[in-house]
A and B are shown apart, each in its own frame.
Chain A
Amino acid sequence: MRLNLTPYDLPDRKLMNREEDDFLIWQPSKDKIVLGQSNQLEQSVNFEEVYTDHIPVYKRPSGGHTVLLTSKTIVISVVVMEDELSKPHAYFDIFNDVVICALKKLGVNGLAKKGISDITIGDRKILGSSIYRSRNKLLYHAVLNVAESPVKIARYILHPTKEPDYRNGRDHEAFVTSLMEQGYQIEIDKIIDQITKELEKQKAG
């Protein structure tokens, strides 16, 4: 049994070559696993299940832990070009605030920022984000769980080698949640539209 990494050709690949501020919000069409830059396959995924279910595995340029992308998740990618980039936490704050603002407008309550760059409802995670930064370009990646079952995540993804304080050793089922699981049945298109509006506002200043 052998798993190979698929070359990173996901929709936000072309965004990384942009030379101006831009963003892309997209809904994955099929299940796929994306490793963080230094994640090792054997420490990150359940080999047998991933192999049996033919789930392609990619490695993204940014940091953070391994994620499962499905059609019930949304991926938010933003590129910022600046001569003097601020430190990463400033961008985590700005873009995670954009998502929070959009979700609040759609009626989601109890949102909070926790850990280094997560968004939670209560103490359960609904979004994780990471950043890749070069000299004058920054790429922000986030995955929002709209309706995916944490059980499915646990099927493919192993418990991470590092975890934020607030996780307290909880397994995926106890730690991750989705908007749907929290009682918010919002169409994915509506969420994408609202986050797009908020990011457009940011872009326009």
Chain B
Amino acid sequence: MGYVFNFPDIGEGLEEGIIAEWYVKIGSEVETGDPLVKMETDKVVTDIPSPRTGIVTKTYGKVGEVIEVGSPLVEINIAGEEEVKQEEVLEEEGAGVVGVIEVAGKDDVMPVSDEVVTSTKKVEESGRRKVLATPVARALAKDLEVDITLIAGTGPGGRVMKDDIRNFQSNMNGKQTDSNSKALSIEVSKDLDELGEVEVVQMSQVRKTIARNMIHSKQNAAHMSLFDEAEVSELVALRDKIKGKYQEQGVKISYLHFLLKAIALTLKKFPSLNSVMNMDEGTITLKKYYNLGLAVDAPQGLVVPVLKNVDQLSIVQISQQSNDIARRAREGKLSMNDLKGGTFSVTNFGSIGGRFAVPVINYPQAAILGAGKIYKKPVVKNNVVLPGVVMPLSISVDHRIVDGGEVTRFMNDIIEYLENPYLLLVE
């Protein structure tokens, strides 16, 4: 089967790149990961690896030509699969060489670009959507001054066609006529600045990175969340008993540190929650090491430094290392190694005050667990209502990898550890 590989967003948020060098030609045999082409964007030159194994049947563009992100780069005949289905390829009259074949795929809608020079305020405020469209349709949209990102395409894979542009324009003309009588209210709502004082601030690099990562996660993982509570009276008593002793040694032990240990031990029993899926290769990599990313609310924004091999650390060691890494995160002193190698993430929003949340997975990890604020509430023990202390827990998993029963059992085991914290001291 023919696989059309589109030029991916390599992470700068730019919309196009220049072909610097082709490594393959028609007939070249390529394996997954082999470099196909060297592309240059404003600040980066990068080899684009092949996503599939097969034989190159078509290349798009020559050295020096500009290719838009999301436009086709190469077509690969996947080994052992059928020939390219002709109906997947639709050309319109006068279509150019570059960008004619645009087969719908997972990259149909590209992440919002934040480095792009946008020409109108409207686009900046609403965000840009990358659309599939034939070159002819793009040219027509430009001629008619129609914003192609607002149009739902009716072509294969949602591709915008010439007729879509014309239909959209005629609809808009009708609406403009109808709306003339309401012009006043529309004009007022068009410019938010007239409603009151606003301040437009530049996004920091950190904020841009966070934004990209969040969108990437939401677009690529199938988020599913579960909420529960652990009754942690015994954990509170245990911590009260030992915290003074270690505080004298400069070690501040918190509930989070017990939770980290509980997560690391439980992950050993539930390997899918400590894994990464590769859809293209059809594999799931189960990681046999337990590195927990700690989401830290640093002054410059969210950062997620990684605590390594947590399953092998004592509660005191976890306390020492996590306090150190969180301090360095807040002071902006993390190294590259501090941010690498996480296998599962933890967010402790309860330290600020929330109880439940729907955490966003630190993609491509499979799960993230959030700890809420510990609080007192009545609990039933042995059919008697007693004052209890509970820790709210929220977990989000990638439902492509983790089933509902699995995450529920995972959560049950975490709760078991938190309600019987002495187990954490002996395991």
Contacts and interface: CB of A to CB of B under 8 A. Distances in A.
A117 B43 CA distance: 8
B216 to A, nearest CB: 9
A116 B115 contact: yes
Contacts of B11: 86-90
Interface residues of A, number: 36
Contacts of B10: 87-88
Interface string A169-186: 000000000000000000
A132 B46 contact: yes
Interface stretch (B205-213, B234-242, B252-260): B205-213
A135 B47 contact: yes
A202 B64 CA distance: 36
A90 B209 CA distance: 7
A121 to B, nearest CB: 16
Interface in B206-230: 206, 208-209, 212
A37 B20 contact: yes
Contacts of A204: 335
Contact of B43 (A82, A131, A165, A201): A131
User: Could you say which interface size class chain B belongs to?
Assistant: 20 to 34
B91 interface: no
A88 B44 contact: yes
Contacts of A92: 43, 205
A204 B40 CA distance: 31
Contact of B18 (A38, A62, A64, A132): A38
Contacts of B115: 116
A20 interface: no
A38 B63 CA distance: 10
Most chain A beta carbons < 10 A, residue from B14, B41, B43, B209: B43
A132 B38 CA distance: 10
A40 B336 CA distance: 35
Contacts of A61: 45
Nearest to A113: B205
A99 to B, nearest CB: 13
A134 B336 contact: no
Interface in B42-70: 42-47, 49, 64
B155 interface: no
Interface string B278-318: 00000000000000000000000000000000000000000
Nearest to B216: A87
Contacts of A162: 42
B35 interface: yes
A93 B33 CA distance: 26
B338 interface: yes
A201 B338 CA distance: 11
Contacts of B378: none
B45 A63 contact: yes
A134 B20 CA distance: 13
B337 interface: yes
Given A38-B18, A131-B46, A202 B209 contact: no
A94 interface: yes
B308 to A, nearest CB: 10
Most chain A beta carbons < 10 A, residue from B13, B47, B49, B64: B47
B117 A88 contact: no
Most chain A beta carbons < 10 A, residue from B13, B209, B212: B209
Contacts of A116: 12, 14, 42-43, 115
A205 B44 contact: no
18 contacts: A38-B40, A63-B41, A63-B44, A64-B42, A86-B11, A89-B209, A90-B209, A92-B43, A93-B206, A94-B336, A116-B14, A130-B44, A131-B43, A131-B46, A134-B47, A135-B35, A204-B335, A205-B335
Interface of A: 36-38, 61-64, 80, 82, 86-90, 92-94, 96-97, 101, 113, 116-117, 129-135, 162, 165, 201-202, 204-205
Interface of B: 10-14, 18, 20, 33, 35, 40-47, 49, 64, 115, 117, 204-206, 208-209, 212, 332, 335-338, 340
Given A205-B336, A205-B338, 11 more contacts: A37-B40, A38-B64, A63-B45, A86-B11, A88-B11, A92-B43, A113-B205, A132-B45, A133-B45, A133-B47, A205-B337
